[in-house]
Structures are given as C-alpha cells and as structure tokens.
Structure 1
C-alpha cells in the first residue's frame, strides 16, 4: 500500500511506513550536492538581462543537436520574466528512464521524496495512470502533478500541467524526450510560468538541459478537490508569490541542479527494478 493514501500529510524525509515500501532503499538521508557548474552559477551574479533568450525561442534553444550560449545560469529579462537554465550530465541514464519516472513518481509522496530528500514533502496526481496499459509518456502528458516542495527556504505548493511538447513545436527524435509543463499554484487558479527538460543521449549516458521561465502568468480551471487538500496540508500562498524575484530564480537553479543530479545517480537501478511494476 502506498503511503500517500493519507493525502493530507506533508513532511520532509521518511517515516516508518515509508521505510517499509519496496523502493525505500533508494531514499538517501540527504540530497547529493549540485554539480560544480551549478554551484558556480549560484555563487555568481545573475545573467545580463539582454543575454537571456525569449521563451518564444525555446524550441530552437532545446533543439535535438547543439548547445546554446547559456546552458547553466539564472537571471531576469528586461520584461521581468525570470529565467533558469541547468545542464546535468547523467551517466548510464536514458531518455526512456525519465519518461518512466515522470509517469511513476507523482502518485506517491514517498516516490517523489527519492528525487530530493531535503526538499520534497508531498506529491499527488490528478489521474493515477500507473496501471494503464499505455506508453510511459502518456502517463504524465495531459496529466497534472500536485507537489509541495521547498525551493530555497520557501515552501511552494504547485500544480504542474504536463503538455505535449510536439504541440509546442519541439522536435523530438526517438532516443530523446522533452518534459514540458505549465507551472501554477495548486491552490489559486493562477499559472506562474513554464518548464522544459530535454533529455538526449551523449557518450556514456545522457544529458538533461532544463529551462524555466517564470513570471509568465495566466489562469487555469481550478481543481477544487486538490485546492482543498492543499489548504488542509497548510496553505503557503501569499500575495508575494505572484511577483517572483531573482532570489526565486537563484534558488530554483540550485534546487534543479541538486535533484536532477541526485536522481540520475540511481535512476538506472530504480528503473530496472520497478519499471515492470505499476
């Protein structure tokens, strides 16, 4: 039985019930450090505003081959949009493992915590498709993940609506994947930005090229059930959440660098053991 059946509970780390789960051996006491390029970018000034690419160019930025002038860094464009880029090297990892992961982890907080033991507190999903006889990508594309996590010192309660990246105009070869989503609040019907993670093969494994664009606000249809659950867990929403500053971009750079590097370290073993299970 998944520990997430008690859907009103939010906490850091594992409790006794979590430690009895079959994948608990992959839960670390702490998250691995971010790679050196991420730590250097975190300790450096933000990117020059005019150097940051426009969101409209994201499909060119995350094209199947080649690199961009900015692969790791954070900053704010002249129009106020926040930008974060992180490149993560992932030995032994494949794009297919990440498609499986995004379809598998969100149904259970204990699975989600594997990704970032120090910051991930809660996860649920709008539709549990883990037992459906469909490709892994279809288990999360068109679905919404609801998470409570620490980004820096701030607790965020987010709803991530995963979209079909091809409809956005991305080109995705068969040995690559792009995880693309609209990031919003799990309580208020407000969108905050976009995320995209490209995974493509390199010698010895894969690389992930992540992009976040925040302060690109919009509205979405509220999920009243999920909003009520988030409120019961303890709402973290305040008016300043709608006006994200450079501190959020800098903290998100570090958070992404930590979680992607951490999970990549054992994702091949996790996938080999659990990909055949619901």
Structure 2
C-alpha cells in the first residue's frame, strides 16, 4: 500500500521541494520563521482574549440524528453519489437520499455526508466565521475544543478595508492541525469561489467549499463543501467530503516548514488511501464541531462581527 510519506515526498519532488526535510531541528526552524506552537486547550494568553467567555473545556455532544448515523455503519458504495454530482447533491432546494453517512465509493474515495441543524444561525454568520477564525489559533479552538490544536491563515485579510466576509477566506488557505479521531492531521484548506465551481448560491445562502490538502507538503487530498441555507428555526448545514482525490497543490514553503516544525515526528506513515474508519471519525468530527459552534455563533457574531 502506498504510504502517505512516499506520496507526499513524490509530490514534493515534482514541486521542486524534494530536499524538504521531514525531521528538522524543530525548535530552530520554529524560532527562525516565527512559527506559532501547537497545543490542545487554552493557555493563559488565550484566556486574556476578548472572546474568552466562549472558550469551553470540552466539545458538546453531537446531535441525536448524527449519532444514529455514525452508529449505523458504512454506506454501500452503490448508494454513494460520485464527486461529479456534488453540485447537484447540494442544490439550493430539496434534500438528497443520503444526508448523513460515510463510506467508500466504488473508486475508493472516502465519502462523508452530514446534516446539522443550526438553530438561530444564518449563512452570513458562517461566512463571517470562516473569514474570522483562522487568524488566531484560540479562535479556531472555539469550534472544537477537544480536537483543534492550531490554525493560521496564508493571507490575513482581516484589516483590508472594503472586503466582504466571504472575500476574506475565498481564494485563501487556512492551515490547521486537528485530531480526526486519534489521528493528528496537518491540513491546508484552500477555499474557492462556489459559484465558479458550479454551485448555485441564492441570497441568504452560502456554500463554503475548497480543496483539502496537506500543510506539510503541496499535495491535495480531496474536496469539501458545506452548504448553509435558511430554515424556519434558523439554518441548516449540509456537509460533504471526498478524500483520496490526490493532486499537486500550491507551494507555501514557510507554511510547510512551520507545519513540520510543529511536529518533529510527523504522522506521515499512516497509509494512504484514507480508509473507511477514517471516514467514520471524520463524520463524528464534523458533527461535533458544527453543532458545538452553532450554539455559540449567534452571540459570538453579534459581539465580534465588527472586529478584525
């Protein structure tokens, strides 16, 4: 089986980064580049942030329907829609036959679907969140305090005048370290314009979509999409993931080196492709983070929407 280490190393060679070390002197690299540390939970400096009242010691339980779907086991490949149907699957009206589930497609891609009720939420709140949270790791941890350990943004656009919330993250890359189940993942999420990628996004809706990649080397690992649309109780989120869709990503040498420096013994020996057990863990993770954030987002948005 191809290993994640060999896949990433091969991609790095193609991108002229073949000499990038996997085990540098982490402290020296971090100090030279000014890399921020990774850790779970909150430290004293985090508790001094103006949003500290939203910091929870643990993540809320997932919604009951999500828990039933996680426990139901994997979806048969014959029932999973292909990646090519993603924009139709997340149409602005109606529902798919499968709104919650995980499994492997016939082609070996890991597929995850999750539906999350978002009481009192709006699509605008989620556009704001995606443009706001990646500038400070402590903000990212508000989303899933049990599993989120680090975040940074390729280009901090928070103080650029005249930008909409969506413009702050679309065309930008968020670098995150998070635990999916017991596995530490160092990811680069590159957000793209949903309408340019075939999604229909009416007023009052949003679709947050992009490429899931590695923050260690310039490799894309899959796609994600989160559709948020209004309901009578607030909003709902329909999430989709397709992994094991590998291609080269963009080179960001500083982000790559900082990611390696945060983890001098990187977890790159886990086999690729991602397996069905990872799909189950990802489904659980998505259900947890989206539900947890939805409970604090209306107040967080009301208090901080005007701040960079």
TM-score range, shorter chain: over 0.9
Is 1:215 the equivalent of 2:244? Answer: yes
For the aligned residues, what is the CA RMSD?
1.2
Structure 1 unaligned regions, length at least 5: none
Superposed displacement of residue 238, structure 1: 1.5
Query: Normalising by structure 1, what TM-score?
Result: 0.96
Superposed displacement of residue 6, structure 1: 6.6
- Provide the residue aligned with 2:224 in structure 1: 195
Contact 1:74–1:83 under 8 Å retained in 2: yes
Which of 263, 272, 279 is equivalent to 1:242?
272
**1:164-179 aligned within 5 A:** 164-179=193-208
> Aligned partners of 2:220 and 2:277: how far apart in 1?
19
Is 1:273 the equivalent of 2:303? Answer: yes
- Provide the residue aligned with 1:69 in structure 2: 97
- Provide the residue aligned with 1:182 in structure 2: 211
- Provide the residue aligned with 2:160 in structure 1: 132
- Provide the residue aligned with 1:143 in structure 2: 172
**Which segments of structure 1 move beyond 4 Å, counting only runs of 4 or more?**
none
> Aligned partners of 2:34 and 2:185: how far apart in 1?
20
> Aligned partners of 1:35 and 1:211: how far apart in 2?
17
Which of 247, 251, 256 is equivalent to 2:286?
256
Larger radius of gyration: 2
Contact 1:192–1:242 under 8 Å retained in 2: no
Contact 1:8–1:232 under 8 Å retained in 2: no
- Provide the residue aligned with 2:256 in structure 1: 227
> Aligned partners of 2:241 and 2:50: how far apart in 1?
33
**1:158-169 aligned within 5 A:** 158-169=187-198
> Aligned partners of 1:238 and 1:6: how far apart in 2?
24
Number of equivalenced pairs: 274
For the residue of structure 1 that corresponds to 2:286, the secondary structure is helix
Structure 2 unaligned regions, length at least 5: 1-32
